[in-house]
Amino acid sequence: MFCYQCQETAKGIGCTVRGVCGKTPDVANLQDLLIDVLKGVSVLAHLARKNDLVIAKADKYAFESLFTTITNANFDKNKILTKIREGFEVRDFVKQELKNNHIDLPQELPSCVTWKADDDETILAYSELVSILREKNEDIRSLKELLIYGLKGMAAYAEHAYNLGYKNDDVFAFMHRALAATTEEHTVDELVAMVLECGKYGVDTMALLDKANTESYGNPEITSVNIGVRNNPAILISGHDLKDMEELLEQTDGSGVDVYTHSEMLPANYYPAFKKYEHFVGNYGNAWWKQKEEFERFNGPVLFTTNCIVPPKSSYMDRIYTTGASGFEGCTHIADRKNGEAKDFSAIIEHAKRLASPKEIENGEIVGGFAHHQVFALADKVVDAVKSGAIRKFLVMAGCDGRMKDREYYTEFAKKLPNDTVILTAGCAKYRYNKLPLGDINGIPRVLDAGQCNDSYSLAVIALKLKEIFELNDINELPIAYNIAWYEQKAVIVLLALLSLGVKNIHLGPTLPAFLSPNVVNVLVENFGISGIGTVDEDIAMFMNS
């Protein structure tokens, strides 16, 4: 195996024995093969689209496969094998559709379009041959992987929107075109251009998901979220899929089972549609990487709607349920929706009824819900605070959290920021500072939590609105600095989205991605001012004086 798609990859170079995330070599290799099979589907689907033929089955397979391989989402070898076999079927279906529409295939096709196997043993053997290291040119490999990781993040957001009945065919078309491009010969400049184009479609996808979420559940509101517990059996729901959240709340209503969010699902507490459920109690716990300790104490079953899964301890593995793109061998998987019907959560609900109520690990409240609609409602107060000097600088500290000790930098950074600064955040990076007593500025909290990682879109919209209000020509003239933590591929598409909007001088940490070659790093530095982090004191001085 060789994998370097996450921030915690071994030695900052790549995982070669076992993933730091916990995935085994066979799972890692099968994920690489799944992407390879998907490339074959996309080569054909892109050819179809060039001839005005749209194949919805190929579109759905694309975002599902990309999402399945995202970090910490799916560790289930059998589920990935099933997805690979499905890819053979989708590929054959697209070929037949091309034939039916008199569209000729090129005489020479890459192996990802033609290779297939009938048995798992052959698939497993072949999966060892499709490593990303096949591409020998380090810079080309770096850019192709950056493109693919951006697509993985984009696919996650596209699937959430799709589950709510929203889609953008232009996004699907780009996915196929970009994946097909990774099978072709391209120059560094051509690939850089496509990576930036990926960022543009990332903005479109996040805008689509924002529309899907707000039209389905209302605009997030400023909300004080309970972090204590009640004395009822309960289900803990993690991940990012709000459709799963909705259906779980509907099916637990009146059952005597409470529902708590964990980590990435915290922002569900901000949506008006979910507040009507009296058994929706609040949030339990902290960032994803603390789940072993927290799940042990929760006592009830845990539902993963997406990543981030930490391989569970045997003491609570029987309480772990997965659904959608997530999976872990030995845990119960709840099947996808069929024929427009809701998922069936009865098994996890009945399981919860047999178990003890959660043990309290903390109490009190945390405040969030500062998505763009809510911040716009406070616009006059914010603008006045900026004009008066009460707010000197906004710090965008969106992104991911992780296990590494050097992420304590972000807690210390937040603690040491001057009192005339405001943190804009989204994603689980917020758990490094969202419970600190940082106070407010004229009634404006110094930590404004917009929501999930996809809600980083809100932070971009807020910046663009402030640019308009202050009548500036360039978004980089705003008193906003970017100190972003990353971990996995949804953060990659957020970064590319910001670059596509013209944002410069983003600081990325706690380390720069291992998949960026030195030459590609130089391109990002020279064109966009991308840099890593330094010490807390040095970085604060630099941000405040820039």
Q: What is the share, in percent, of the chain residues with pLDDT greater than 90?
A: 99
CA dihedral 109, 111, 115, 121 (to 10 degrees): 180
> Over the stretch 420-436, which tens digit does the pLDDT of each residue have?
999 999 999 999 999 99
Q: Helix, strand, or coil here: 236?
A: strand
| pLDDT of 60 | 98
Residue 230: pLDDT band with limits 50, 70, 90 = very high
State the Cα–Cα distance between residues 316 and 130, nearest whole angstrom.
Answer: 35
Pairing of strands 444-445, 440-441: antiparallel
Q: How many residues make up the chain in this entry?
A: 546
Provide the sign of the torsion angle of the four alpha carbons 480, 481, 483, 484, taken in this order.
positive
> Taking the CA atoms of the chain, what radius of gyration do you get in angstroms?
23
Mean pLDDT across the stretch 48-77? 98
Residue 454: pLDDT band with limits 50, 70, 90 = confident
Residue 169: pLDDT band with limits 50, 70, 90 = very high
- pTM summary value: 0.97
Mean pLDDT across the stretch 229-254? 98
State the Cα–Cα distance between residues 488 and 307, nearest whole angstrom.
Answer: 10
Q: What is the DSSP letter of 327?
A: B
| pLDDT above 90 for 546 | no
Q: Helix, strand, or coil here: 488?
A: coil
Residue located via tokens 């072993």: 292
State the Cα–Cα distance between residues 73 and 28, nearest whole angstrom.
Answer: 12
Tokens of 378: 């406070």
Please give the mean pLDDT across all residues of the chain.
97
- CA angle 412/497/221 to nearest 5° reads 65
Q: Helix, strand, or coil here: 260?
A: strand
Q: What is the share, in percent, of the chain residues with pLDDT greater than 70?
A: 100
State the Cα–Cα distance between residues 2 and 25, nearest whole angstrom.
Answer: 8
State the Cα–Cα distance between residues 207 and 280, nearest whole angstrom.
Answer: 27
Question: DSSP labels for 109-178?
Answer: --HHHH---SSHHHHHHHHTT--GGG---HHHHHHHHHHHHHHHHHHHHHHHHHHTT---HHHHHHHHHH
Residue 299: pLDDT band with limits 50, 70, 90 = very high
Domain 223-353 classification at class level:
alpha beta
Q: Helix, strand, or coil here: 187?
A: coil
Mean pLDDT across the stretch 517-542? 97
- CA angle 203/174/139 to nearest 5° reads 90
Q: Contact 399/483 with Cβ under 8 angstroms?
A: no
Residue located via tokens 């098994």: 347
| pLDDT of 483 | 98
State the Cα–Cα distance between residues 185 and 140, nearest whole angstrom.
Answer: 9
| pLDDT of 208 | 97
Residue 291: pLDDT band with limits 50, 70, 90 = very high
| pLDDT above 90 for 144 | yes
Cis amide linkage into residue 437, ω under 30° from 0:
no
User: Taking the domain 370-545, which CATH number applies?
Assistant: 3.40.50.2030
Residue 465: pLDDT band with limits 50, 70, 90 = very high
Tokens of 37: 């099979």
> Over the stretch 342-371, which tens digit does the pLDDT of each residue have?
999 999 999 999 999 999 999 999 999 999
User: Which ranges constitute the DSSP H helices of 182-224?
Assistant: 188-217
| pLDDT of 505 | 96
Q: Helix, strand, or coil here: 490?
A: helix
| pLDDT of 444 | 95
| pLDDT of 12 | 96
Structural domain boundaries in the chain: 10-216, 223-353, 370-545
Q: Helix, strand, or coil here: 384?
A: helix
User: Taking the domain 10-216, which CATH number applies?
Assistant: 1.20.1270.20
State the Cα–Cα distance between residues 426 and 215, nearest whole angstrom.
Answer: 20
Residue 426 has, within 13 A of its CA and on its CB side, a CA count of 28
- The reply to whether domains 10-216 and 370-545 share a CATH topology is no
| pLDDT of 89 | 98
